[in-house]
Chains A and B, each alone.
Chain A
Amino acid sequence: MKKWMQLLVLVVSVTSAGVLLADGDRDGKERGEERGEHKSGEHKSGERASGILPLVSNAKWKAECGGSCHMLYHPALLPERSWVKMMAGLEKHFGENAALDEATRDEITKFLIANSSDKMNDRRSRRINESITPGEEPLRFTETEYFDARHDDISAATFKRKSINSPANCVACHPKAEQGDYSEDKVKIPR
């Protein structure tokens, strides 16, 4: 009887911790397996499917930056200086108040910095980073040369379609964008 109780307490504790802390991580691992990738694994850059950013995850980032207002943008889409600037101005976040409590904001900022385009070492992140002029602090990935060069065949009218709304709505055409997968073979431009 005692053992049974102890086991139950253990299960509940692990579940709590899982819900609070490890949610994103677990998802990340599942996705990694799906794609045959692993966070800490070694890759020869030539072997990576193109258009896919490394798997990253953080539960607070997922909840606060990809829950209510907009899709989840991969941290490697912008360099550290951009994220620092963005997170310091959440009271006016693209015209809206997106203020967070200090602890949440700091945790997310750390996560964004650690996985920003200038910290990541994969080919895709490096290319994004190289396309941004040093000293510039873009807050929109869609204003980078990297984005422009890869979307020069998409007209402004296409971006304005109701099904797309704006170039910032990556998921409209890149269904797996929130998982960092922007590979060309998955692109589907809606009517």
Chain B
Amino acid sequence: MKMRKVLILSGLLISQNSLAITSQELLQQYATQARQENAAFAGFSAERGANFFRAERTHSEGKKVGCSTCHTTDPRKQGMTRANKVIEPLAPVVNPQRFTDQAKVEKWFGRNCKDVLERVCTAQEKGDFVQYLVNVK
């Protein structure tokens, strides 16, 4: 009887943290997806991720857009939305909350890839991006 209560209790505690994930676990999941998307997948590259982060393109509506439009060119710095809200830094070295909530990561890749690239991002791109930011010192 006592054991059952303990199980219920730990179940409740675990369920509260079910969304928590480490950046390494996240990278492993993207690696699994990347392998499914491309049989020749050969790992993530922080350098490719850095280029992806810095790249700017012209949106079909005419304006220049890139990650830095809102996140600045330095991922250790705070960014700003168009509507005046601070965006906390992307680099876990200064913002350890980054890449610890999978639903949040997917939500923002989902929105921002469409805003900037006008398409969804591949698992390769997501993994490279996360790898770059995790490595930022």
A residues sitting closer than 8 Å to B (CB atoms) are 1-2, 5-6, 8-9, 12-13, 16, 19, 68-71, 91, 95-99, 165-166, 168-169, 172
Interface stretch, picked from B78-86, B90-98, B122-130, is B78-86
B5 touches A96 (CB 8 A): no
- B9 to A5, Cβ gap below 8 A? yes
**B6 A5 Cβ-Cβ under 8 A:** yes
A-B contacts, CB under 8 A, total = 58
Asked if residues A165 and B1 are in contact (CB atoms below 8 Å), the reply is no
Chain B contributes a number of interface residues (CB within 8 A of A) equal to 22
Question: Beyond A2-B2, A5-B2, A9-B8, is A96–B85 a contact (Cβ under 8 Å)?
Answer: no
Shortest CB-to-CB span from A98 to chain B, Å, is 7
- Is B74's beta carbon under 8 Å from chain A? no
Chain B residues with Cβ under 8 A from A5's Cβ? 2, 5-6, 9
* Measured CA separation A51–B95 after assembly (Å): 38
Cβ of B12 and Cβ of A16 under 8 Å apart? yes
> Which residues B1-49 have CB closer than 8 A to chain A?
1-2, 5-6, 8-9, 12-13, 15-16
Inter-chain contact A69/B81, CB cutoff 8 Å: yes
Alpha-carbon distance between A111 and B137 when the two chains are bound, in angstroms: 43
Interface majority SS (helix, strand, loop, mixed), chain B: helix
B55 part of interface (Cβ distance < 8 Å): no
Whole-angstrom CA separation of A172 from B115 in the bound complex: 27
Alpha-carbon separation in the docked complex, A24 to B110 (Å)? 27
B112 CB within 8 Å of chain A: yes
List, sorted by A's number, 27 A–B pairs whose CB atoms are closer than 8 Å: A1-B2, A2-B2, A2-B5, A5-B9, A6-B5, A8-B9, A9-B9, A12-B9, A12-B13, A16-B15, A16-B16, A19-B16, A68-B81, A68-B85, A68-B87, A69-B81, A70-B84, A70-B85, A71-B85, A96-B115, A97-B111, A97-B112, A97-B114, A97-B115, A98-B111, A169-B84, A172-B84
